Structure 1
Amino acid sequence: MNNTEKWLSNYILSCRNIRTLSERTLQAYSNDIRSWFQFLEQEEVAPEKVNRDIARLYISSLTMRQLSPATINRTLSSLKGFYQYLEKRGDSSGNPFTALRSQKNPSTLPVYLTNREVEILIDESEGNSFESLRDKTLFELLYSTGCRVSELCALNADAMKNDRILIRGKGGRQRFVFIGKSARDALSAYLPVRQEKLRSMGKGEKKALILDYRCDRLTTRGVYYIIQKYLRKTGLNRKVGAHAFRHAFATELLNEGADIRVVQEMLGHASLSTTQVYTHTGIERIRQVYRRAHPHGRERKRNHRSTVV
């Protein structure tokens, strides 16, 4: 193993054990840093000898490739963290990415499902087969808890404690999420069929709550394919994935008057600004509050009688 691979392997291990980043994030960081190594090889520059000009040239090359600001910013974050790690270990004399600023993300409204659309998907999953009961449980849990899809896929069958689940989210942060009655009913119907499926496949006991057709833990990609199948079956012309259920969860809570900081806690957001993205559908409600509460926000009755001056 050469130095670069050794540094990368140790850095990713550090991110996993100390920063407790998700496997998806670790894979993205690893890909970003490997792409950087390939660039340095083409430029014939050693990773530990990089200066700010080389770093700026690389970020410019990503822009020229028309990568999204979000991808470029993640790459910048990956490389800043990597060189900070090398600097602390004494393997680099400085961090060439420190002075480089993140790019501004264009402000776009998040894609979400309405309450009615969620209900249509859930209704379409009705049935007594393993797949139908699993899919209904999947949809109910996504909508009832507001979990990230990776958090839901990581759940084990013994994770439920009465009406709540302890979730280990991003950065190792823990939180409780609650299971509504509809989700509890779906689980009650699914779990016995799950056990029967395991027995019929000769798989023995499995920890994973949500299983695929081979009785292995359902992956986030598998969830995506399931959602796409139901979108086609119901004729819902929406380009959405599992995160749309999370948006729907947060949007419904905020529209019903839930405190945004409570919603922040339920979603597991470290920053309130992240939660504020979910207030997009509450604009009309905010307008109504403004009109009721502000003296100049109210509609005034016009006096149509002419005034003689």
Structure 2
Amino acid sequence: MSPPSLSALMEAYFVDLRVVNWTEATLERRKNSLGRFVRWLTEREIHTLSEITPEILAAYQRSLLHIGNLRTRKPLQASTRASYVHAVSHWLQWACLGKHIPFNPAAGIELPKAEYRLPASFLSQSEVEHVINQPDVSTKIGIRDRSVLEILYSSAIRRSELLKLEIQDIDRARRLLHIRQGKGHKDRFVPIGVRALDWLTKYLQDVRPWLLSGGGCKRNWMHPRKFSVSLSEQETQVVILCHNGGAMHPVNLSAMVRQYVRQAGITKKGACHMFRHTAATLMMENGADLRSIQTLLGHASLNTTQIYAHVTLDRLRAVHDAMHPAKPDQANAPSRAD
């Protein structure tokens, strides 16, 4: 009897991961990672797991370094390479436990060392206010877009969390948003500011019913009220809607936010997640503690939130200037050029 194919073992692997309640987003990333590995094996005429050796895995790891991103050919960050290799290692471990292979060839593999990186681009308070004021609120779409920017900035929720937000998740009385099954299958409540809630309320009252009825669709002159989008019951409860009344796609939401950032004359890279970084950074600058930021962002580990401690550099600089014994004596300091 011939051994099962790589694709068959991949399918069985993902079935088992669903059984133990892995999220679909994580499964999708894992599929991409393993898909790259399987294609790499196939190109080298390797068709079964039993043919994989530690030397082959080492060669694959080197290929990740030298080839990089398959589309852009740009180098992969160490964390990205580590995630690719970890996905392969976990799959092989599963196969070994299931007796598909006699041993795990990835047992001794060393992952690329993690890098400590500061958060991606974030905006100053004046910059973020400038961006938020870009939508034309004399139009219905402008009111929706202003509401989106206000929510992202005020609550610091993830793009995916905003797009899954439903009407029932808004607690106006307590100014809270109920984030259901966020990253890692975790529920949490996040506060939302008064200004953001006011814009959200205006959108829900004046714009969302219009979008839900198809008012935002581009009309065909031959069929002026043609509206063929069929919405599920869940979609009709989603807060943020696109022009045709359906749930907005993540790519379209990012493109919309990025457009307003560019329109404000800001060249920093980023879109929805930049608002999340901005909210956390500005709160830290204003004295918020890491535990509060961790709760707001929904981080499982305080180590993830620790990256926002970089904003305390202003305080560190002040202490350094005041306390360091080598602080300059103004009388002996060299004169500065005008």
TM-score normalized by the length of structure 2: 0.80
5 Å-filtered alignment, 1:168-247, equals 168-192=181-205, 193-201=207-215, 206-247=236-277
For residue 137 of structure 2, the aligned residue among 127, 134, 157 is: 127
Between the two proteins, the alignment pairs up a number of residues equal to: 300
Contact 1:19 1:171 in 2 (8 A): no
Contact 1:113 1:244 in 2 (8 A): yes
For residue 114 of structure 1, the aligned residue among 124, 133, 149 is: 124
Cα distance between partner residues in 1 of 2:16 and 2:199: 39
Match of 2:93?
84
Distance apart, 1:84 and its partner CA: 2.2
For residue 109 of structure 2, the aligned residue among 94, 100, 103 is: 100
Post-superposition Cα deviations, 1:215-262, rounded to whole Å, max 9, x if no partner, equal: 221122111110222123222222212111111111011111111122
Match of 1:56?
58
Cα distance between partner residues in 2 of 1:117 and 1:226: 17
Distance apart, 1:212 and its partner CA: 1.2
Change (3 A) 1:19 1:255: farther
Q: Which amino acid aligns with 2:209?
A: Q
Unpaired runs of 5+ residues, structure 2, are 69-74, 216-226, 333-338
Distance apart, 1:297 and its partner CA: 6.5
Match of 1:254?
284
Change (3 A) 1:303 1:239: closer
Distance apart, 1:173 and its partner CA: 2.2
Cα distance between partner residues in 2 of 1:82 and 1:268: 28
Unpaired runs of 5+ residues, structure 1, are 305-309
Distance apart, 1:177 and its partner CA: 0.9
Distance apart, 1:19 and its partner CA: 4.6
Cα distance between partner residues in 1 of 2:155 and 2:281: 13
Change (3 A) 1:239 1:296: closer
Match of 2:34?
33
Could you tell me the percent identity over the aligned residues? 28
Distance apart, 1:123 and its partner CA: 0.8
Cα distance between partner residues in 2 of 1:139 and 1:269: 22
For residue 284 of structure 1, the aligned residue among 295, 302, 314 is: 314
Contact 1:80 1:98 in 2 (8 A): yes
Q: Which amino acid aligns with 1:267?
A: L
Post-superposition Cα deviations, 1:172-197, rounded to whole Å, max 9, x if no partner, equal: 12221111111101111101210122
What's the secondary structure of 1:171's corresponding residue?
A: coil
Worse-superposed segment, 192-201 or 235-244:
192-201
The answer to which structure has the higher helix fraction is: 1
What's the secondary structure of 1:124's corresponding residue?
A: coil
| CA root-mean-square deviation | 2.5
For residue 144 of structure 1, the aligned residue among 134, 143, 154 is: 154
Cα distance between partner residues in 2 of 1:302 and 1:75: 55
